[in-house]
Amino acid sequence: MSALHELLLLCVVLTNFWVLGTTRLSSTIRATAIQGALLALLPIALHPSWSVHTLGLAGGTFLVKTVILPGFLAWAIREAAVRREIEPLIGFSTSLALGAVAVAISFGIAQRIPMPESNSSLLIPVALSTVMVGLLVLTTRNKALSQVVGYLVLENGIFVFGLSQVERVPFLVELGVLLDIFVGIFIMGIVVFHINRAFDSLDSTRLTELKD
């Protein structure tokens, strides 16, 4: 079982690269859905105790991260009729290269961070790199929906980080995390919808035209 969680974490990093490198928005949403499924399996792989609690957490994570949120985003894409991301601020190739650098940095500094002993030596680096990739997508993409995807990836990174810190998975922590995501996405969804209505476009660079 110990190899399974390492495999899952490696696939999480690969989905990060997928999000960075693809130009189609539906592809990025598919990547976050798969990332969500991987994260749903992660608590089971880390604590193979098969308790109701762990299975419930896994099921809930799966439902929210793989079914509900990606479905919501896909609906938003259809409504706004947006298919592709235009060339981001730093270019797709540079994003991929920076993503690789982020992975290198997180693996490099993960041992230096003073942390209590955790179940897997891969959790901290993968969490750090996912957070960095999420921030990268959030700050450099032009379309508002891509920025939402970046925010989702960021939250996934924090989720992995949280998994490394708790021995048993207390109820309160995961409720907080999931609610946090839910509220954030809900607000973003509303904002996106209104931007689309008001400006007939989801291009966030045009938000600077708000001033008179």
Partner 1 sequence: MRLLLLAVLLLLGAGAGALVLRRRPRLADGVYVTLLLAGAAAGLSQAVVVLAGGAESVVAVAGTLPGGPWAFGLDPLSAWFILPILGVGACAGAFGVGYLGFERSHRPVAGTHALFVLLLVGLTGVVTAQAIVPFLAAWEIMAISAYLLVMHDHEDADVRRAGLIYIILTHLSTLALIGMFAALSVNATGHSFTELGLGNRTPGAARTVALGLALVGFGLKAGAVPLHFWLPGAHAAAPSHVSAVLSGVMLKVGIYGLFRVVSLVGAPPAWFGWALFGLGLVSGVLGVLWALAQHELKRLLAYHSVENIGIILLGMGVGVLGVAYGQPAVAVLGFTGALLHTLNHALFKSLLFLGAGAVLRATGRRMIDELGGLGRRMPWTAVAFGVGSVAIVGLPPLNGFVSEWTVFQGMLAAGASREPLRYAVVGAAGLGLIGALALACFTKLDGTLFLGHPRSPIAGRLPLRDPGTVMLGPMLALAGLCVAIGLLPAVVLRPARLILTELAIVPGSGALADTSWSADAMGVTVLGAGLVAAIVLLLLARRWLPAGGVARLAPTWSCAMAVSTSRMQYTASSYAAFLLGAFGPLAGTHVSRTADSFHTSVADPVQDGAVLPAWRMLGRTSVLLRGIQGGRLRWYLLLVIFTLLVLLLYLTKAGRAS
Partner 2 sequence: MILGPLLTLLLVLAVAPALPGLATRTRALLTGRRGAPVLQLYRDLARLLRKNVVYSRTTTAVFRIGPMVVVATVVAAATLLPLDGHAALLSFRGDLVAFTGLLGLGRFALVLAGLDTGSSFEGMGASREVTVSVFAEPALFLCLTVLVLATGEISLAGMLGERLAAVWFGAAPSLVLAAAALFMLALAETSRVPVDDPATHLELTMIHEVIVLDHSGPELGMILFGNAVKLALFGALVTGVLLPLGLLPVWLAPLVLVAGLGVVAIGVGIVESSMARLRMNRVPQFLVAASALAVFGVILLLR
- Residue 17 beta carbon to partner 1: minimum distance, rounded to whole angstroms: 17
Measured from the CB of residue 177, what is the shortest distance to partner 2 in angstroms?
27
CB 177 within 8 A of CB 159: yes
Applying CB under 8 A, does 176 fall inside the site for partner 1? no
CB of 176 to partner 1, least distance (A): 39
Beta bridge partners of residue 24, listed in sequence order = 84
Q: Does 91 bind partner 1 (CB under 8 A)?
A: yes
**Smallest gap from residue 11 Cβ to partner 2 (A):** 10
81: left (phi over 0), alpha (psi -120 to 50) or beta: left
Positions in the binding site for partner 2 (CB under 8 A): 6-7, 10, 13-14, 17, 21, 23, 92-93, 96-97, 99-100, 103-104, 107-108, 125
Q: Which residues contact 60 (CB under 8 A, 6 or more apart)?
A: 174, 178
Q: Which is nearer to partner 2, 34 or 76 (CB)?
A: 34
Token pair for residue 14? 């690969």
CB 97 → partner 2: shortest distance, Å? 6
CB 25 within 8 A of CB 77: yes
Residue 93 touches partner 1, criterion: CB under 8 A: yes
Q: Please choose, from the candidates 189, 193, 141, the residue with its C-alpha nearest in 3D space to the C-alpha of residue 22.
A: 141
How far is the C-alpha of 206 from the C-alpha of 208, rounded, in Å?
Answer: 5
Instruction: Choose between 51 and 94: whose C-beta lies nearer to partner 1.
Output: 94
CA distance 156 to 163: 11
Residue 13 site contact among partner 1, partner 2, none (CB < 5 to 8 Å, cut-off depends on kind)? partner 2
Q: Is 87 among the residues that bind partner 1 (CB under 8 A)?
A: no
Residues that bind partner 1 (CB under 8 A): 91, 93-94
